């Protein structure tokens, strides 16, 4: 009864735009809305930069160097442009940006429902209801850590953690650890947990191999200079597949030119194929390890060749071309691991992330639960999304990638408000 009364007396606000989420994407949207004098509010369920505060492990450093950390009108101004921010530094950076952009953020305000109401939206939160002509979804791409169905077959007594649960090796029971997934997250976990003295096995499916430095420069320097990060989603053949690709094997450190499966093997990590199933307490791995590693080696070599080619036409001060040792794979990699009778005490699912749209009560999701949009213009008048992988460009989900996307989409939104016209699916310039 009390809840019903609370519902009835919730305050109601009216604004032009509700932005959901105060990560860097929501704040960048706010920056461009303010520049166009568009009335808006940013609703955030936690504190500013909530994901970086609550969903990352302790040792994580950005994979992108400091010189690349920039947001609209704002950039890294410290003394270590080639370094990598720790989590407290990222939080501080985004907090400072919120102040700089004077973003109208309402923290501890969880959006529980967004409904289409006449020609506008009704946004219900735990702290009131807003009516808005437009909604910007900037609630993040990584709200839920994926746990594949096979995780349901983990034998009792073995801890099963996601990438959101893992903070550091101290929280793990003594004993072996199986890490499922060998992208940036899985690789970093394997390295850290092995160094803490655990026996580690890493199950490896399709992955993207990248060196940290190439020809004496950070790989991000080349990705940026060659224009690869700027590539538009419209130029990519299979954008749906590209949007689902795993993150490259990188770590925010210049300790070694490359952190890869070879380096993990050298440190005693056991590399096996993709986890296919768990049957009667025994984990079964695919025999395709050699193939997936060969494919990752091939793609990395092609990228390095493309960089070499670019350098030929755009002379840059750098070292000579180099090639990295192919991934070493055992002649007979293990296909089985008896979880019940071996020393494995923990399984960590480093199997990617996905957004949470459980609060979105408008029919804009496809059958896989992905939001239907054209370069961020959602399939619903006046609704926009920001911060998803390859939303408009390869760089879209990165901090430095938000500026171009947010500028273009907020310009589209301004047109929408001005015309009052319905522009569903129309492309932002």
Ligand X SMILES: Cc1cc2nc3c(=O)[nH]c(=O)nc-3n(C[C@H](O)[C@H](O)[C@H](O)COP(=O)(O)OP(=O)(O)OC[C@H]3O[C@@H](n4cnc5c(N)ncnc54)[C@H](O)[C@@H]3O)c2cc1C
Nearer to ligand X, 69 or 262 (CB): 69
Nearer to ligand X, 72 or 140 (CB): 140
Nearer to ligand X, 111 or 272 (CB): 111
Nearer to ligand X, 64 or 286 (CB): 64
In whole angstroms, the minimum distance from the beta carbon of 117 to ligand X comes to 18
In whole angstroms, the minimum distance from the beta carbon of 271 to ligand X comes to 21
Q: Residue number with the shortest CB distance to ligand X?
A: 23
d(CA 405, CA 286): 39
Handedness of CA 151, 152, 154, 159 (dihedral sign): positive
In whole angstroms, the minimum distance from the beta carbon of 95 to ligand X comes to 12
Q: Are strands 377-378 and 120-125 parallel, antiparallel or unpaired?
A: unpaired
Nearer to ligand X, 260 or 405 (CB): 405
Integer CA distances (angstroms), 391 to 396, 401, 409, in order: 6, 10, 11
Nearer to ligand X, 140 or 381 (CB): 140
In whole angstroms, the minimum distance from the beta carbon of 274 to ligand X comes to 21
In whole angstroms, the minimum distance from the beta carbon of 146 to ligand X comes to 11
| 403: Cα within 13 Å, side-chain hemisphere | 13
Nearer to ligand X, 45 or 407 (CB): 45
Nearer to ligand X, 51 or 262 (CB): 51
In whole angstroms, the minimum distance from the beta carbon of 350 to ligand X comes to 10
382 Rama sector, left if φ>0, alpha if ψ -120 to 50, beta otherwise = left
Secondary structure tally for the chain: helices H, strands E: 10, 23
Angle at 62 between CA 28 and CA 395, to 5 degrees: 50
378 closest CA partner among 370, 329, 286: 370
Nearer to ligand X, 94 or 293 (CB): 94
Q: Which residues bind ligand X (CB under 6 A)?
A: 20-26, 43-46, 50-51, 56, 62-64, 110-111, 138-143, 185, 353, 359, 387, 397-399
72 closest CA partner among 97, 43, 93: 97
In whole angstroms, the minimum distance from the beta carbon of 55 to ligand X comes to 7
Q: What is the residue whose two structure tokens read 């960048």?
A: 28
In whole angstroms, the minimum distance from the beta carbon of 114 to ligand X comes to 9
Integer CA distances (angstroms), 345 to 200, 268, 278, 284, in order: 11, 18, 15, 17
Angle at 166 between CA 161 and CA 170, to 5 degrees: 110
| Contact yes or no for 39/156 (Cβ under 8 A) | no
290 burial type by CB count under 10 A (0-12 exposed, 13-18 middle, 19+ buried): middle
Q: Name the β-bridge partners of 70.
A: 75
138 closest CA partner among 23, 16, 15: 23
In whole angstroms, the minimum distance from the beta carbon of 42 to ligand X comes to 9
């Amino acid at each position: 009864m009390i809840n019903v009364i609370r519902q009835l007396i919730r305050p109601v606000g009216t604004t032009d735009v509700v932005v959901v989420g105060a990560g860097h994407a929501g704040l960048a949207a706010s920056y461009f809305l303010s520049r166009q004098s568009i009335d808006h509010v940013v609703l955030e369920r936690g504190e500013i930069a909530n994901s970086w505060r609550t969903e990352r492990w302790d040792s994580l450093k950005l994979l992108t160097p400091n010189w690349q950390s920039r947001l609209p009108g704002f950039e890294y101004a410290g003394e270590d442009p080639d370094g990598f921010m720790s989590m407290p530094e990222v939080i501080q950076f985004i907090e400072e940006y919120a102040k700089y952009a004077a973003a109208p953020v309402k923290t501890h305000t969880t959006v529980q429902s967004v409904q289409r109401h006449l020609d506008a939206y009704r946004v219900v939160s735990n702290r009131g209801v807003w009516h808005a002509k437009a909604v910007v979804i900037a609630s993040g791409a990584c709200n839920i850590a994926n746990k594949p169905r096979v995780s349901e077959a983990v034998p009792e007594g073995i801890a099963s953690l996601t990438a959101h649960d893992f903070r550091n090796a101290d929280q793990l029971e003594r004993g072996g650890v199986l890490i499922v997934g060998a992208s940036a997250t899985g690789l970093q976990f394997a390295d850290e947990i092995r160094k803490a003295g655990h026996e580690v096995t890493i199950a490896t499916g399709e992955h993207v191999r990248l060196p940290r430095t190439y020809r004496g420069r950070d790989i991000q320097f080349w990705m940026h200079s060659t224009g690869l990060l700027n590539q538009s989603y419209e130029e990519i053949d299979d954008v749906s597949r590209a949007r689902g690709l795993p993150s490259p094997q990188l770590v925010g450190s210049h300790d070694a030119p490359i952190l890869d499966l070879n380096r993990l093997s050298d440190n005693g990590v056991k590399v096996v194929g993709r986890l296919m199933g768990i049957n009667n307490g025994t984990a079964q791995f695919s025999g395709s390890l050699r193939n997936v590693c060969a494919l990752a080696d091939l793609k990395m070599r092609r990228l390095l060749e493309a960089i070499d080619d670019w350098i030929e036409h755009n002379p840059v001060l750098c070292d000579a071309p180099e090639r990295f040792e192919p991934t070493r794979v055992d002649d007979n990699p293990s296909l089985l691991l008896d979880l019940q009778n071996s020393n494995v005490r923990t399984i960590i699912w480093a199997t990617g992330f996905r957004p949470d749209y459980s609060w979105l009560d408008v029919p804009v999701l496809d059958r896989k639960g992905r939001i239907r949009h054209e370069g961020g213009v959602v399939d619903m008048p006046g609704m926009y999304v920001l911060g998803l992988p390859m939303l408009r460009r390869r760089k879209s989900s990165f901090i430095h990638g938000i500026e171009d996307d947010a500028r273009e989409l907020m310009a589209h939104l301004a047109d929408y408000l001005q015309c009052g016209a319905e522009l569903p699916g129309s492309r932002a310039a």
